[in-house]
Structure 1
Amino acid sequence: MAAPHPDRLLPADPGVRPIARRLYTEVRELPIVSPHGHVDPRILRDDTPFADPASLFIQPDHYVTRLLHAGGVPLRDLGVGEGPLPPDRARHAWRLLCANWHLLRGTPVRYWFDNELADIFEITSRPSAANADDLYDRIAALLAAPSHRPRALLRRFGIDFLATTDDPADDLAAHRFLRDDPAVATTVAPTFRPDRYLEAGRPGWPTYVKELGGDVGDYAGYLAALEERRRYFVAHGAVSADHGHADAGTEPLDRRDAERLYRSALAGTITPAEATAFRRHMTFEMARMSCDDGLVMTLHPGIHRNHHPPTLAAFGPDTGHDIPVAAEFTRALRPLLKRFGTHPGFHLVLFTVDATVYSREIAPLAGFYPSVYAGAPWWFLDNPAEIRRYQQSVTEIAGFSRLSGFIDDTRAFCSIPARHDMSRRLDAGFLASLVAEHRLDEDEALDTLTALVTTQPRAVFKL
């Protein structure tokens, strides 16, 4: 493997590539704005060196572990669901990755890895069983150096804004520490993620609700507790509330019905159908609260969580077996948008893992409602092919101003710059094609690309 090609992902057409190269060069070094991700803020607060290559590249990244698992590598051998591994197990996990490097071919995971290894660790040799130990030792030596501690990498990556994803009951102590530390130039903001407090049918839900604090013995107290926690997050720099449910339903309930279902949920007698109705009602209520407190509402339905029960039992959630299902937005969101779709200041960013809805539903919704934005391709769709389809599907209907800007949505800290660089290259290529087709002037294309990298995510997420 040579160093990553400087024109990677740019259009192959010789009439378009030079335009794309010029556009990309102008935005390549601009600071990163990351308004939705899953990096643990304690990593940055503590600034403890990363333990080893396995804990950095493998264990936290379900993109990697799911591909290896599909190829026959046991999740236990990769340390999934565990903390830092003993040295011998960490090295074994790394050897498994290198010996199965071929499983990553053609995936964005391979693209990100190539960039991370070259740009951060100066490794341009292709991983294999033969060189696994040498690569492990080289990476481990750098991870122990001051230049590769978490905060040093944060500065090196040029991340201007980094949002994490946080439980509403979190005290946000790590965020306070980072905010008050003058040595940390990056703004690290929490994100309000209330899913488990809205899913009234979950086992143990009455216990979860008590974690919100306040008097949650009745529905009014429950709403007040959620509102208070949202205010707490806003006071600590949060800009958005993130919601990921099975569907996008937002049908509100009569107040008396909501109170009745809340009592049933506390008593543990709520039925699955009633729990779904209550959750859809509470998603509507979350939009109302966003209109009141200004938090941007992001919604990403359509995932069957924990598809493989034995894996869930053995390794826990977020371990690679969440699988997409078909999503519907137009009818599901009508109650919410009827009430709040033109509310001044309300922002709703719609994400999907069902690529068929970009042109059919999300782009038309974003093309009418001033509150709605089309979220960047996310999770299973954050690959070059789907990003290119998204660019065409949404902009032809709603225009560039209705895009969210890139969202990296990752726990894998070192992949953040590689992911944003991939987006910038693909956006440069798409805009270059519009210039080559004489649909845009090159100065317009550069203005648009610069906005997608800088001002667009800041405007959408109210930074």
Structure 2
Amino acid sequence: MTPAPLAPHPDRLLPADPETRGIARELYASVADLPIISPHGHTDPSWFAEDAPFPDPATLFIIPDHYIFRMLYSQGVPLEDLGVPRIDGGWTETDTRKIWRRFAENVHLLRGTPSRMWLDYAFHDILGLTERLSAYNADRLYDQIDAQLKRPEFRPRALFERFRIEALATTENPLDDLRHHRAIRSSGWGGKVVTAFRPDNVTDPDHARFRQDVPELGRITGHDVGSWDGYLAALRDRRRYFIEHGGATSTDHGHPTAHTENLSQADAAALYGRVVAGQASADEAERFRGQMLTEMARMSLDDGLVMQIHPGALRGQNPAVSGTFGEAKGDDWPSRTDYVRALKPMLDVFGNERDLTIILFTLDESTYAREIAPLAGHYPALKIGPAWWFHDSPEGMRRFREQVTETAGFYNTVGFNDDTRAFFSIPARHDLSRRIDCGFLARLVAEHRLDRDEAFEVARALAYDLAKAAYKL
């Protein structure tokens, strides 16, 4: 069988209308090669500390990528067949060539998805493949990719530079010793890799590790976390540690809702006492999470860390998956999320602070025009994060721009972040975002709603300037 060619079209994702497409081409050409600011993501810092070769194609592209195996699982492919490890140590396929073949047999399931576009970019633009993956050429392409990954120019640091990454943030929890970040900083390599402070495991009473990690937080900081004051002091210490040893410029909070509280310190201390004693009700756990968002904002005003709030993900929805394979295995869902009322207690205290940046994300697109854009279009402390997770897609990005721009403008947004674990997808994701934004701006120019010179300025801002400024990178 003759393999189908892999040749992504140079005008992909640009508008179909010839006049608008011409404008979009010019705009895209002006930003296509700008450096990448990747201010929030989940890549492994050990890659850049150790600079070891990436493993085989299946371990790199399939086993860790819930975007891919989620789709295959929906069509009846067992996760064990794709090498996803079980938390009980039970059988899962370890022959990476077999895993790759299984994926190749089902790669057609990704047609029309952003995952397909990211993979096409990685295979063609990064790895130099000229054939579309299929069951018929799976072994040959496996060998071709495997050989590429063994070459020095495909090691993490070389790719970091080839991708024109100017700065990249990973994400660690407060107990992490940041050894890999320290190793990167002492290695003499010039790549900028920083950490971000993600405290959910010690601020969310419903987190699976809360009961064991809060005492450990006290142990490593030397503070008495049995008291509210000691607990807050321990968190401040770890934030300083992340700034000093990992170059952190941001925090990240993945709460189930955007609920905030503004309790008196006496009431907060009493609530904390019930939480650490394991006596808090579900309502009290939610109130505690809300109070901790306010406390994190207070600390950010002191230490300058940018605050990100990623609410609204129902995680581990399918117990047959989460109970067998653990967290982040594709069984997560967007949920309806309130922002205006939920954030008011925190915004009453900190919303008007010009020296504080709080970046809001959402999985509930119905809130863009109704809540998030009006909020960010008013409060100096608020900015809007880009289309995230399920909406990190061409149509999701277009909907985002269409719904937030009229009320919040461009400059209350923060450009793009890729929020990915998949290193090879970073340039693909940024390229996709730049193409969609240039198409949106081209339409405004074609409709005489934006002058051409302004469109070029905005295109650069969305691709580079806004993320760099918002995240202090």
TM > 0.5 fold call: yes
CA displacement at 1:313 relative to structure 2: 1.8
Code of the aligned partner of 1:425: R
CA displacement at 1:268 relative to structure 2: 2.0
Distance 1:118 1:268 in 2: 53
Code of the aligned partner of 1:5: H
54-63 or 86-95, which moves further after superposition? 86-95
218-227 or 264-273, which moves further after superposition? 264-273
CA displacement at 1:205 relative to structure 2: 2.5
Deviations 1:297-350 (A, max 9, x none): 111111111001121121110111111111110000011111101113100111
CA contact (8 A) 2:80 2:92 kept: no
193-202 or 34-43, which moves further after superposition? 193-202
CA displacement at 1:88 relative to structure 2: 6.1
Distance 1:353 1:169 in 2: 28
CA displacement at 1:223 relative to structure 2: 0.5
Distance 1:314 1:359 in 2: 39
CA displacement at 1:158 relative to structure 2: 0.8
Deviations 1:147-189 (A, max 9, x none): 1111111111111000001011111111121123222x22101
CA contact (8 A) 2:201 2:208 kept: no
Code of the aligned partner of 1:72: G
Distance 2:103 2:211 in 1: 42
Of residues 165, 188, 192 in structure 2, which corresponds to 1:187?
192
CA displacement at 1:447 relative to structure 2: 0.8
Is residue 2:81 matched to residue 1:71?
A: no
Is residue 2:178 matched to residue 1:178?
A: no
Q: 2:368 maps to what in 1?
A: 358
Distance 1:88 1:267 in 2: 42
Check 1:226–1:362 CA distance in 2 against 1; reply closer, same or farther (3 A cut).
same
Describe the SS at the equivalent of 1:457. helix
Describe the SS at the equivalent of 1:241. strand
Check 1:88–1:210 CA distance in 2 against 1; reply closer, same or farther (3 A cut).
closer
92-101 or 405-414, which moves further after superposition? 92-101
95-104 or 247-256, which moves further after superposition? 247-256
CA displacement at 1:285 relative to structure 2: 0.7
Is residue 2:238 matched to residue 1:225?
A: no
Is residue 2:30 matched to residue 1:13?
A: no
Deviations 1:85-141 (A, max 9, x none): 999621111111111111001100001111110011111211111111111010001
Of residues 38, 41, 53 in structure 2, which corresponds to 1:37?
41
Distance 2:17 2:344 in 1: 43
CA displacement at 1:82 relative to structure 2: 6.7
> What are the ranges of 5 or more consecutive residues in structure 2 without an aligned counterpart?
none
The residue correspondences of 1:45-60 to structure 2 (distance < 5 A) are 45-60=49-64
Distance 2:380 2:425 in 1: 33
* Root mean square deviation of aligned Cα: 1.6
Distance 2:115 2:100 in 1: 15
Is residue 2:205 matched to residue 1:200?
A: yes
Distance 1:202 1:268 in 2: 12
Code of the aligned partner of 1:307: Q
Of residues 122, 129, 137 in structure 2, which corresponds to 1:123?
129
Deviations 1:338-388 (A, max 9, x none): 110111310011101111111111110111111111110000000101100
Q: 1:334 maps to what in 2?
A: 344
Describe the SS at the equivalent of 2:168. strand
Describe the SS at the equivalent of 1:15. helix
Matched pairs, number: 461
> What are the ranges of 5 or more consecutive residues in structure 1 without an aligned counterpart?
none
Deviations 1:175-211 (A, max 9, x none): 121123222x221010000111111244552321122
Of residues 211, 220, 242 in structure 1, which corresponds to 2:216?
211
Q: 2:103 maps to what in 1?
A: 97
Check 1:43–1:204 CA distance in 2 against 1; reply closer, same or farther (3 A cut).
closer
Describe the SS at the equivalent of 1:162. strand
Is residue 2:401 matched to residue 1:395?
A: no
Check 1:419–1:201 CA distance in 2 against 1; reply closer, same or farther (3 A cut).
closer
Please give the TM-score of this superposition, normalised by the length of structure 1.
Answer: 0.97
Deviations 1:424-452 (A, max 9, x none): 11111111111111112211111111111
Q: 2:454 maps to what in 1?
A: 444
264-273 or 148-157, which moves further after superposition? 264-273
CA contact (8 A) 1:24 1:428 kept: yes
Code of the aligned partner of 2:303: D
CA displacement at 1:143 relative to structure 2: 0.7
Of residues 234, 237, 249 in structure 1, which corresponds to 2:259?
249
The residue correspondences of 1:273-352 to structure 2 (distance < 5 A) are 273-352=283-362
Describe the SS at the equivalent of 1:349. strand
CA contact (8 A) 1:205 1:265 kept: no
CA contact (8 A) 1:37 1:165 kept: yes
CA contact (8 A) 2:85 2:92 kept: no
